[in-house]
Amino acid sequence: MRLSNIPWKDLKYVLWLPLYLLAFVLIEHLPMNNYWSTQLPLDSRIPFCEWFVLFYCAWYPLLIAVGLYLLLQDAPGFRRYMAFLSVTFFSSVLIWLLIPNGQDLRPQVFPRDNLPTALIAALYHVDTNTNVFPSVHVVGSVGAALAVWDSPRLRSHPLPRLGVPVLAALICVSTLFIKQHSVLDVAGGLVLSLLAAVPIYRRKRP
């Protein structure tokens, strides 16, 4: 692809991302002695399954791949996608600040010693068990699925039309099986996604 074909003017819609990442890093390092524990009795019935970390990590390439495609092929869809992610991600930061929260579901000792558990251990090390409600993994996954269904070209192909929502659902579920989020965190992410999706996606595409 030629550099002249890149829609540079639309890159301004990504400027929210470094601000969010900075806010996330700062809030993760804030001292938090007391927090609202989001786990429910239902969470104890969900078994730990380390293999779901593969779906959990798929969140990052999924969001990037959808964003890059829309940037290059569907500018209106890209703008709506960026609007959804920025609104939900910054709303999550605001909730974390107003209602300090966390979960106490992480196993003290992994039941098995293998590559997925080593990956989860590294994940636990860089991402604390606080600031979990709502789950940005959930809102990001929902955002990617909505963006695919919003894009006429992506929606016309069975693989992205069906594959992305299925992958998004598996990513949401993975947060429960690797004990990164509670059921309440996932539900909060779904509610926040709905609240953001209605005003953003009900408008007709330009």
Greater pLDDT, 32 or 39: 39
Task: Tell me the whole-structure pTM to 2 decimals.
Answer: 0.94
Q: How many residues does the chain have?
A: 206
- The residue with greater pLDDT, 31 or 157, is 157
Among residues of the chain, what percentage have pLDDT more than 70? 97
Using 50, 70 and 90 to split pLDDT, how confident is the model at 2? low
- pLDDT confidence tier of residue 31, bands split at 50, 70 and 90: confident
- Report whether 143 contacts 80 (CB < 8 A): no
Smallest CA-to-CA distance from 99 within 190, 23, 38 is with 38
The pLDDT score that the predictor gives to residue 4 is 55
**Mean pLDDT, residues 135-155 taken together:** 97
pLDDT score recorded for residue 8: 77
Kindly tell me if the per-residue pLDDT of 64 is higher than 80.
Answer: yes
Q: Is the pLDDT of residue 33 over 90?
A: no
Integer CA distances (angstroms), 54 to 50, 167, 172, 174, 203, in order: 8, 11, 12, 8, 35
Whether 191 has a pLDDT exceeding 60, the answer reads yes
Say what the pLDDT of residue 5 is.
63
Q: CA-to-CA distance for 116 and 137, rounded, in angstroms?
A: 18
Domain locations in the chain as residue ranges: 47-201
Does 203 or 118 have the greater pLDDT score?
Answer: 118
pLDDT at 205 (0 to 100): 78
The pLDDT mean for the chain works out to 94
